[in-house]
Amino acid sequence: MSKVLEHRCALITGASRGLGFEIARHYLEAGASLMICARNEEVLEQSASKLKQFAGPGQSVAARRADVSKPKDVTRLVLEAYREFGHLDILVNNAGIAGPSGTLESVDWEAWTRALEINLLGPVLLCRAVLPHFKKAKRGKIIQLAGGGATNPLPNLSAYAASKAAVVRFVETLAEETREDRIDVNALAPGSLDTRMLDEFIAAGPARVGRAFHERSVKLKQEGGVPLAKGARLAVFLGSALSDGITGKLLSAVWDPWETLPQHRGDLNATDVYTLRRILPADRSLTWGDGD
């Protein structure tokens, strides 16, 4: 996949550090030009300067401060990306926060809703902003970062879990809306990462995030977590022509054989593989619950 993104332009949110920065670096190495954004302008400019070192001839890196939960910021960001490059091929919705930790009745309500504004409404706003352009071009790639909260309950992290589950169902729905427009929309689960979010979970302490989750977080920190490159490589695949026609899926960078998925497009399009679905008793070899 050395230069599979050559001549493509991507907008990557939350790209000033962590996984977002790693995805941006991999995108540059794959040949893309980038518009990156984050809320902290100082850190963003520092990251843009580092990323420019990976840009080859004909590639560029632009950086704009933006809060993805604010409609005006999102509109301006997308318009400036088009002014910068003349076209846009890929949107990577990476920006996200952990939200408040603690039992639902004890957490700050504004912090709870703020997590949904950034983790769910932000991606929705960005998709609304790029879709008219993608539909006009009859092509486009939207990559949404998911998390453990999408597929498992996370006690004491209800805002994070709810926002991640919601955004995956949004991805599935938007994929169906845009299938005829040749726009591929997928969610990416990068695995358990050693990032600033993990540090926040550990700092919150067992009383707020739960003893079992805190112990897992500490162990993950000690072991180093899943390499950021795993998620970044999947993001490159999903942004490239290699993944054309694969849409509406939640793909794990750690567990799924995503490099071979082009061989299985027919099965993917004909089934609900790699999607969120309700589990029936029969799915667990139970004989009750089906019309009893």
pLDDT band at residue 67 under the 50/70/90 scheme: very high
Average pLDDT over residues 102-115: 96
In-domain check, residue 168: yes
Nearest residue to 20 via CA among 154, 142, 190:
190
Bridge-based pairing of strands 61-65 and 33-38 is parallel
Query: What pLDDT score was predicted for residue 1?
Result: 64
Average pLDDT over residues 64-81: 97
Residues ≥6 apart with Cβ < 8 Å to 232? 19, 22, 23, 25, 26
In-domain check, residue 202: yes
Q: Are residues 184 and 209 in the same domain?
A: no
Which residues are annotated as catalytic? Answer: 160
Containing structural domain, residue 178: 9-191+227-277
The answer to whether 13 and 95 are in contact (CB under 8 A) is yes
In-domain check, residue 291: no
What CATH number does residue 154 fall under?
3.40.50.720
Query: What pLDDT score was predicted for residue 291?
Result: 60
Buried b (16+ CB within 10 A) or exposed e, 248-281: bbbbbbeebebeebeeeeeebeeeeebbeeeeee
Q: What is the pTM of this model?
A: 0.94
Buried b (16+ CB within 10 A) or exposed e, 181-211: eebbbbbbbbbbbbbebbeebeebeeebbbe
Q: For residue 239, give the 3-state DSSP assignment.
A: helix
Express each pLDDT in 249-276 by its tens digit: 999 999 999 999 999 999 999 999 999 9
pLDDT band at residue 221 under the 50/70/90 scheme: confident
Lowest-pLDDT choice from 122-126, 132-136, 194-198, 284-288: 194-198
The answer to whether 116 and 66 are in contact (CB under 8 A) is no
Express as a percent the part of the chain with pLDDT over 90: 79
Query: What pLDDT score was predicted for residue 76?
Result: 97
Q: Are residues 27 and 13 in the same domain?
A: yes
In-domain check, residue 84: yes
What is the C-alpha separation between 7 and 59, in angstroms, rounded? 8
In-domain check, residue 208: yes
pLDDT band at residue 206 under the 50/70/90 scheme: confident
Q: Mean pLDDT for the chain?
A: 93
pLDDT band at residue 237 under the 50/70/90 scheme: very high
Average pLDDT over residues 227-235: 95
In-domain check, residue 58: yes
Structure tokens given for 32: 């893309």
Asked whether residue 13 carries a pLDDT value surpassing 70, the answer given is yes
Express as a percent the part of the chain with pLDDT over 70: 99
Average pLDDT over residues 42-57: 95
Q: For residue 13, give the 3-state DSSP assignment.
A: strand
Q: Are residues 123 and 21 in the same domain?
A: yes
Average pLDDT over residues 160-177: 96
Query: What pLDDT score was predicted for residue 279?
Result: 86
Average pLDDT over residues 155-176: 96
Query: What pLDDT score was predicted for residue 61?
Result: 97
User: Can you give the length of the chain in residues?
Assistant: 292
Nearest residue to 116 via CA among 58, 153, 75, 161:
161
Q: Are residues 221 and 241 in the same domain?
A: no
Q: Are residues 216 and 267 in the same domain?
A: no
What is the C-alpha separation between 188 and 235, in angstroms, rounded? 7
Query: DSSP assignment of 131-189, as one string?
Result: HHHHHHHT-EEEEEE--GGGTS--TT-HHHHHHHHHHHHHHHHHHHHHGGGTEEEEEEE
